[in-house]
Amino acid sequence: MYRLSYALINNDILKDNVKEITTKYNDYKYYIGVVKNNAYNHGINIVNSLIQGGCNYLATSSLEEALNVRHENALIPILVLEPINLEYMDLVIKNNITITIDSLDYLQKLIKLNLKKKIKVHFKLDVGMNRLGFKDKKELDKAYKLINEDNNLELEGIFSHFATNGYYDIYYDQSLNKIKELLKDIDLSKIPILHFDRSNTLVSHPKIPFATGVRLGIIMYGFNGSVKKDNSFKGKLRAIKRDWYLKKNNISRTIDTNDLKLKTAFTLYSRVISVRKVIKGERVGYNASYEVEEDAYIATVALGYADGVTKQFGKVIINDKSYPIVSDSMDMIMVLVDKSVKVDDEVEIFGDKIKVKDVCKRLKINSYHLFNQITNRVPRIHIEGNKKTEIKY
């Protein structure tokens, strides 16, 4: 690591999170860890920690990502959640990848290839996202018939994706009804993996009786989708309004709180590379955008928007003290500090003393976006027991 900016990823925390989730929600046979985009940008080498924690299947968004996971683990089953270009079925077979069938057309083309090799497939249902999957029951039934007649393809699973958590709306209920309607004429006892819920729908609804699997995404990375009880006057008023709305629209109740103990495992650090004195009235950064209000010091920190970090992050921690970010550029941010700050001091951007959810609030984004916006220019250092491993992308 030549440039002293890095994301510290604690693989042990991720393992413990998965253990905690799979122990509490122990009524499933398949725990599918979603590791899209290098495991929500935590770094692909965490997959073995997730497996040790209890994931017995993994899911990626593309074949490229699946091959990266296969490189880390030769045996774990891997589902690619999006359709794969049919030209690359040789790679799918060679690396034992499970594929998603999202339409009758795709299935027919795949059957036509007559690959003469076993391929495991999952059908994807579209129950409200209007993104991918079978929407029409007749098409699904025809696909089910075709796949049963084919000797190469094995229908191992069926899944769908909920558009909402159903806390304040009717869409979760509607989607679940649509799942039931679509699957009405399919013998589910013949299909081992039926997975519909994602992190937040898992914790906020009773188990779907016929589900045998669940896809764990953001929850593994430390985010509990439960709605916190807000005992303020406004909070209580909101709860009353919500109850009234749920009753009026006959929406099933959600499970609001749970006792899952989860931690985030991603902390972003950098270093001070320069400190300079500034006097009242001087300007800092591009467009002279920040005016110094009284004599102070500016610390320059070796991370910028090319790493995914901007002035809007608001503040950083240096030597246990919080300081405001006053300017940003491609590779550096400038922080208004006092004279205690020195070149080479460590800077926390977020993850430990600055909570991920607080940065998200300031940026008006959610944790998915925050993790995914830290670019691969930032090396990842993984902690596992006493071992530290650096990964450069």
Ligand X SMILES: Cc1ncc(COP(=O)(O)O)c(C=O)c1O
CA distance 80 to 112: 21
CA distance 77 to 101: 17
Give how many residues touch ligand X by CB under 6 A: 10
Give DSSP secondary structure letters for 82-129. SPPPGGGHHHHHHTTEEEEE--HHHHHHHHHH---S-EEEEEEE-SSS
- Please report whether residue 21 would count as binding ligand X according to CB under 6 A: no
β-sheet bridge partners, residue 278: 296
- Shortest distance, CB of residue 83 to ligand X, whole angstroms? 12
- Residue 98: alpha-carbon gap to chain centroid: 20
- Please report whether residue 107 would count as binding ligand X according to CB under 6 A: no
β-sheet bridge partners, residue 122: 100, 157
User: For ligand X, which is the closer residue by CB, 200 or 267?
Assistant: 200
Work out which of 70, 198, 311, 380 binds ligand X, going by CB under 6 A.
Answer: 198
CA distance 160 to 84: 17
- Residue 299: alpha-carbon gap to chain centroid: 33
- Please report whether residue 34 would count as binding ligand X according to CB under 6 A: yes
- Please report whether residue 264 would count as binding ligand X according to CB under 6 A: no
Work out which of 47, 79, 80, 218 binds ligand X, going by CB under 6 A.
Answer: 218
- Please report whether residue 217 would count as binding ligand X according to CB under 6 A: yes
- Shortest distance, CB of residue 42 to ligand X, whole angstroms? 12
CA distance 221 to 17: 7
| Cβ-proximal residue to ligand X, closest one | 217
- Shortest distance, CB of residue 263 to ligand X, whole angstroms? 16
User: For ligand X, which is the closer residue by CB, 58 or 67?
Assistant: 58
Stretch that binds ligand X, among 1-9, 212-220, 246-254, 379-387 (CB under 6 A): 212-220
Work out which of 165, 199, 254, 264 binds ligand X, going by CB under 6 A.
Answer: 199
Name the E strands within 30-75.
Answer: 30-34, 57-60
Q: Which residues bind ligand X (CB under 6 A)?
A: 34, 81, 161, 198-200, 215, 217-219
